[in-house]
Amino acid sequence: MRILLAKGGLDGHPRGLKILARFLRDAGFEVIYLGMYQPAEMIASAAIQEDPDIIGVSMHSGGHKKVFRKLMKMLADAKCDSAVVAGGIIPRRDYKLLKRLGVRLIFCPRDSMQGKIIPALQELASENKNKDLPKIFSNFSSPAAYCHVIGFTGSGGVGKSSIISALLKHVYSERRVAAIFVDPVAISGGAVLGDRVRAHRPENFKIVTSPNVFMKSLAAKEVWKGVTPETPAVIDAVSNAGFEIIFVETVGAPQYDLGFKDVVDTMVYVITPASGDEIQISKGGAIETADIIVLNKSDQPRSEQFLAVLKKNFPGKPVISTGASLWKNNGIPELWKTIESLKQKPL
């Protein structure tokens, strides 16, 4: 069961949506989390790419009529048949209008999470099963002449998805670029797939809605070489759809991602100054097989000393310092230049 969650329009109240995401995860859903301030165009773009069973849009600050009118039209034009549900603070007098637009369910703040919302969503998801992957790409162009697959691994929280989002911003205007994000599952079997939220910021409207950009979130119900057994098929599908650059992010267990090198053309290992000391580095793992090592969050204490440790322990490998965020992209141009220099020759 896959559900996409977003705060529509100018809504900047994240707490309720985060609580809902956790409850749905514990109920076994794969939750694709977009975050706040999402206009209809960004929600529709994510829904078309992710192909969820359900699209959930929460509204607090008004504007629901405009958001849902535009969203439902864009989904219909794209032949996206995911079920749309609404929640938050929506006047009851507008329920009939939203239902006429095609909204399947509308929840109010008084509705019980366990007693009403989750059972209703489970039933709706069972009626609206996931579609075949090739259908997602039916409107895209012919296969790329050459596709460069770049993998990112490293522990959780080191900034892999932030770096990928910054690279998307750096190259999307000139190249067709895709990103495949792989997240771990919870004990419940559900998952919060929150990596694309790094790109889904209001200032990135042109990036998220660009035909040059494609993003896909996968839950690792079975971890294989740091990703999932289905990841190579998704890479092939994206390449066949004409995307020249594909970023792939692992679940974030780098000491067990040794096989990830076989999945991608160029492998980037991301680490931060808080990752440990020289003894920790000496334990090895995927960092030994990486083509590029990135020291992210370089504004943290000890970054210069840790950079020197990395260069000492891995001579001959490019070691690049970055401060990747969507506001400060220190080192991103240098990282991209290095990635491009390692690009393999076309097959």
Q: What pLDDT score does 276 carry?
A: 67
**Does residue 293 contact residue 316 with C-beta atoms inside 8 Å?**
no
Stronger pLDDT, 316 or 266, i.e. the higher one: 266
Q: Please enumerate in sequence order all residues whose Cβ is within 8 A of that of 156, keeping only pairs 6 or more positions apart, or say none.
A: 252
Phi, psi of 140 (to 5 degrees): -90, 175
Could you tell me what percent of the chain has a pLDDT over 70?
A: 89
Residue with tokens 């994206």: 238
Residue 345 has pLDDT above 50, yes or no: no
- Boundaries of CATH 3.40.50.280 in the chain? 2-131
pLDDT band per the 50, 70, 90 thresholds, residue 132: low
Spacing of C-alpha 207 from chain mean position: 13
**Does residue 46 contact residue 213 with C-beta atoms inside 8 Å?**
no
Q: How many CB atoms lie within 10 A of CB 15?
A: 7
Rounded to an integer, what distance in angstroms lies between the CA atom of residue 254 and that of residue 145?
31
Most confident range, picked from 10-24, 71-85, 124-138, 151-165: 71-85
- Boundaries of CATH 3.40.50.300 in the chain? 148-341
Residue with tokens 């096989």: 259
Residue 135 has pLDDT above 60, yes or no: no
- Dihedral angle of Cα 219, 223, 225, 228, to the nearest 10 degrees: -40
Q: What pLDDT score does 136 carry?
A: 53
Task: Quickly list DSSP for 207-257.
Answer: HHT-TTEEEEEEEESS-BTTB-TTHHHHHHHHHHTT-SEEEEE--S-GGG-
Residue 299 has pLDDT above 70, yes or no: yes
- Beta strands 105-106; 54-59: pairing state: unpaired
pLDDT band per the 50, 70, 90 thresholds, residue 327: very low
pLDDT band per the 50, 70, 90 thresholds, residue 213: very high
Rounded to an integer, what distance in angstroms lies between the CA atom of residue 12 and that of residue 62?
12
Rounded to an integer, what distance in angstroms lies between the CA atom of residue 120 and that of residue 101?
20
Residue 329 has pLDDT above 80, yes or no: no
Q: How many CB atoms lie within 10 A of CB 251?
A: 23
Give pLDDT tens digits for 236-258: 999 999 999 999 999 987 666 67
Q: What pLDDT score does 323 carry?
A: 83
What is the overall mean pLDDT for the chain?
Answer: 89
Handedness of CA 176, 174, 215, 338 (dihedral sign): positive
Give pLDDT tens digits for 83-116: 999 999 999 999 999 999 999 999 998 999 999 9
Selected from 2.60.40.1180, 3.30.930.10, 3.30.360.10, 3.40.50.300, the CATH number assigned to the domain covering 148-341 reads 3.40.50.300
Q: What is the pTM of this model?
A: 0.91
Rounded to an integer, what distance in angstroms lies between the CA atom of residue 316 and that of residue 4?
43
Selected from 3.90.76.10, 3.40.50.620, 3.40.50.280, 3.20.20.10, the CATH number assigned to the domain covering 2-131 reads 3.40.50.280
Phi, psi of 293 (to 5 degrees): -110, 130
- Mean pLDDT, residues 149-155: 94
Rounded to an integer, what distance in angstroms lies between the CA atom of residue 244 and that of residue 228?
22
pLDDT band per the 50, 70, 90 thresholds, residue 141: low
